[in-house]
Structure 1
Amino acid sequence: MKFTEKIQGLISRGEIQDASTNMLEDTIGAVLGDPISVGKIMLAIVKSPFFIREQLFWTKMEAFLNGVYLNENDCAKLRATLTSDGEKQDNALRLVESIDRAETQQKIRYLINATRCLLVDFIDRPTYFRICHAIIHTLEEDLSFLSEHINEVDITYSTYVQGLLSSGLMYQSIIDANDEQKYSFTPLAGIVDQYAVSYENTERYPNPIQLSHNFTAPQPKLPGMLEWEPISDEEIDDILKK
């Protein structure tokens, strides 16, 4: 059962009856996995005439919640990760903003992948937010170009390259004998591809590895470390259609 379906059950049983009166506060609670906050938002949507922007935001938030919170342990782990060091509101707001600014369903998929990687400690919190920042500040078409060409170097300039330069995912690598500039991907681009854009590509990344926030050489995953099965394209498509 999906996360929001469980909340609908609480509403149906009358365990959540009050609609949200503070959407920002309840949105922060929702992204941290608080079922009461989620229920209050759902009731507010039903009872109030929402603008299209709010409706679109909730569609993305609902997809994110259903894709990330597969069990109660996920809620507790993400809450603990985001609220450590007394930074509950700041980090939750950063994540809410990333969800809000993800203008395509595919980007929500990338955020789900990155968040699942955070939950199982493949990446740490600073790296996670670097990935989120790169996703929301890069066109979907440019991220697709990144995925298709990530293993190439000294690429000829194009509008895709310009977009990736602007978001810090490419850099000028050489000027060839014909005085033509060529470009290559930054280390961050590889991280964005591995832990978000192409995480479900098991042929490219068959063995998930841990990565520290300072981008040092990753170490092989130790035996017995917690693993998770990536959500299939079909499952995420079903979530995003809800």
Structure 2
Amino acid sequence: KLHTVGKPMDGSEIRIDDSGEILVRSTSVVDGYYDDPESSAKALVDGWLHTGDAGRIDEDGQLVVLGRVSEVVRTASGERYIPNFIENRLKFSPYIRNVAVIGAGRGELTAIVCIDFDAVGHWAEERSISYNSYAELSQRPEVQGLIGQVVRHVNGTQPDGLRVRRFSNLHKDFDADDGEITRTRKLRRNTIETTYASLIEALYSGATETVFDATIAYENGERGVIRRTLKISEVLA
């Protein structure tokens, strides 16, 4: 399975503790840190190495490494997940440039998707699907279906409680100038959740579309507002 690191080798044991951390016990595990008994005592407890990584063991006994324990968040039902893990899986698709998975403290996961304009544009042109802008292309029903296929594929590698149930294609890509991402394209989650609060609420309301007032910057430095209608798609199993 490409999304796992496989099963433990002979002579090695792996378990997941209550915090979601991966613990390893093996004859190959170090006895401790050199000349640092305090760090050794924290990292090694009863022979188990606390890796600092979060993970889960799937139904076939294979280990899935999610990321660092410090990045773990929980859904309303207590399911542990790392947004970046799911986001990276979605971005394996050439059609998704960026994505923010939402779900901390909520009953299910949703996503705000930024399509890759070049890749999706080429896909659309091959199928004689017309569009005049990123915003128009992102809302085409054919493109909604295309992104839905990507989400369904990734959902197939996720436990049932950690599958993206709804998504909306944003009218633009996340932008560092708007504070939504860093210059190295890492998400600024607090900014995204604040800026798109109304869209996020619509994702959880059961609506099929929502009106969003998008702030734009003109070349002369002035700012204005353009009203966009953003479609919301449900991801069927």
Alignment TM-score > 0.5, same fold: no
When you count strand as a share of all residues, which structure comes out higher? 2
Higher RCO structure (Cα 8 Å, ≥6 apart): 1
TM-score, normalised with respect to structure 1: 0.30
When you count helix as a share of all residues, which structure comes out higher? 1
TM-score, normalised with respect to structure 2: 0.30
